[in-house]
Amino acid sequence: MIPIQMAMSELAGAAAAVKTLFRELSAKNAARTLALVMVDKALGRPWNELPPPADTQETLSRRQIGPAVLLERRLREAISPERARELVREIVIIGAVDFLSRNVPVLKKKDIVSMDEREREGFMKSIKEKFFNADADMVVEGDEALNMRVTRCRFVELLEAIGERGMAPVFCEGDRIFFDERQPEVSLERPETISRGDEICDFRFKWLG
């Protein structure tokens, strides 16, 4: 079963794709590109040469990033690879921010600080479980910081398996923008990311003010 939050974010991403393509391409090329992406998806691309998904987490990860891969591949046929990447990044960010907004509540220091240790652990676990692409540990450091250490990212693994490893950073951009724009009490630092070749994704959240 596909989580309703994911399905709603897919609609946001699809709407962004239509708007962006008709803005950037001729109506004929935009319609053609979207039609080809739909055909590719119906044929099981871009995963058709991989073994079946190992688990539900991989199934959902494939579903979330697959359309962006197909779109960039088709855009490369119509415009430069660099411009194709810029447009896909724009679309992915819209979908990612929508997804995060539906799955991560606005974090308020007074609420987190008022929780006891068990309540905090449960709260963090409930958020972490929404991110099916990542294996991660979340740690609350006193009353001043929250940290998440991602040790596995299925997005990166899948992209590497289909020869699209260079797209991996695109799927990280939405995190930064979400916390800049939608989380007024929290700042995000991410000195290491798996998408750029590091061993972990090191998310460091600090309270502002």
Domain ranges of the chain: 4-103, 109-207
Residue 141's pLDDT is 74
- How much is the pTM? 0.91
- Better-scored residue on pLDDT, 126 or 65: 65
Best CA proximity match to 24, nearest among 85, 112, 98: 85
State the Cα–Cα distance between residues 53 and 133, nearest whole angstrom. Answer: 12
Question: What does DSSP say about strands 186-189 and 201-207: parallel, antiparallel, or unpaired?
Answer: antiparallel
Looking at the chain, the whole-number percentage of residues with pLDDT higher than 70 is: 98
* Two structure tokens written together for 207: 């309270």
User: Is residue 56 predicted with pLDDT exceeding 60?
Assistant: yes
Average pLDDT, the chain: 91
User: Is residue 2 predicted with pLDDT exceeding 70?
Assistant: no
Residue 157's pLDDT is 97
Taking only Cα atoms into account, the Rg of the chain, rounded to an integer number of angstroms, comes to: 18
Q: Which of the four pLDDT bands, split at 50, 70 and 90, describes residue 148?
A: confident
Q: Are the C-beta atoms of residues 84 and 6 closer than 8 Å to each other?
A: no
